[in-house]
Amino acid sequence: MRDVMSFRPRPGCAPSVISITSPTRAGLLAEIEADLIAGRGFAIATLNLDHLVKLGRLPQFRAAYAGQSHVVADGNPIVWLQKLAGRPVELVPGSELVGPIAALAARLDVPVGLLGASDETLALATERLKADFPGLSIVARISPPQGFDPAGKHGADALDQLAATGARLCFVALGAPKQEMLAARGHLALPQIGFVSIGAGLDFVAGSQVRAPRWVRRIAMEWFWRMMLSPRRLAKRYFDCALILPGLAWSAWRSRSQT
């Protein structure tokens, strides 16, 4: 079993348990490499507190998570909770997977698709990824229309377009829950393609958004950096995350004491 620890978002709301499947970055990359070599698809989600809030509220998001083949810990609170439970994992932010997975794709000659963000961001991201990883083949750049619905016709059209290009790996940058919903749908419909949900990863590559300085990330304050840049959008999100943290910590401690 690859299960490390289970989180039950918002007791009474979520009928299923969300599990971290890949405890280390090296282990995840080894699994991805094996899948790419074998021609197997996958779907990778990166669990954080905001996802847990949404998982407690949105049945379609829980269904999307159930359709992921890999779940990693994206966010220091998830890492801390795992440690509290006695089952440590590494921090694996989705945006930091772009480089290592692109390097794998270049080395294995796997054609890549980019889905999400604006046309301008996709063009810049393509240019920089090809410069950083010589030999990388980016065969699809799909910028979703306004009001993109991953469960409806928009999602079907995007997957059809992706499949027609021959891509075998797709970075999905739509934000939660849309990216996980599309990845789960794609993993089922296109089992030969690997889907990686990366949030703002393409914006970071393109330079249209800037990550917090490394020293801020090292002291686990990237969330505060982001909130200061966009307080109206993020303040309530982080408040909601703070509300569920005590209950999750208690559950993690109980899980440790029961093992």
> Over its length of 259 residues, how does the chain's per-residue pLDDT go in tens digits?
334 455 565 554 544 577 899 999 999 999 999 999 999 999 999 999 999 999 988 999 999 999 999 999 998 999 999 999 888 999 999 999 999 999 999 999 999 999 999 999 999 999 999 999 999 999 999 999 989 999 999 999 999 999 999 999 999 999 999 999 999 999 999 999 999 999 999 999 999 887 777 776 777 777 666 777 777 777 788 788 888 888 888 888 887 766 5
Contact 52, 74 (CB under 8 A): no
Residue located via tokens 């990366």: 198
Q: Name the DSSP letter for residue 160.
A: H
Task: Quote the distance between the C-alpha of residue 98 and its chain's center.
Answer: 10
Residue 91 burial by Cβ neighbours in a 10 Å radius (0-12, 13-18, 19+):
middle
**Whole-structure pTM value:** 0.91
Helix runs in 109-208, H state only: 119-132, 153-165, 178-189, 201-206
Helices 231-257 + 222-229 axis angle, to 10? 160
User: What's the pLDDT at 238?
Assistant: 79
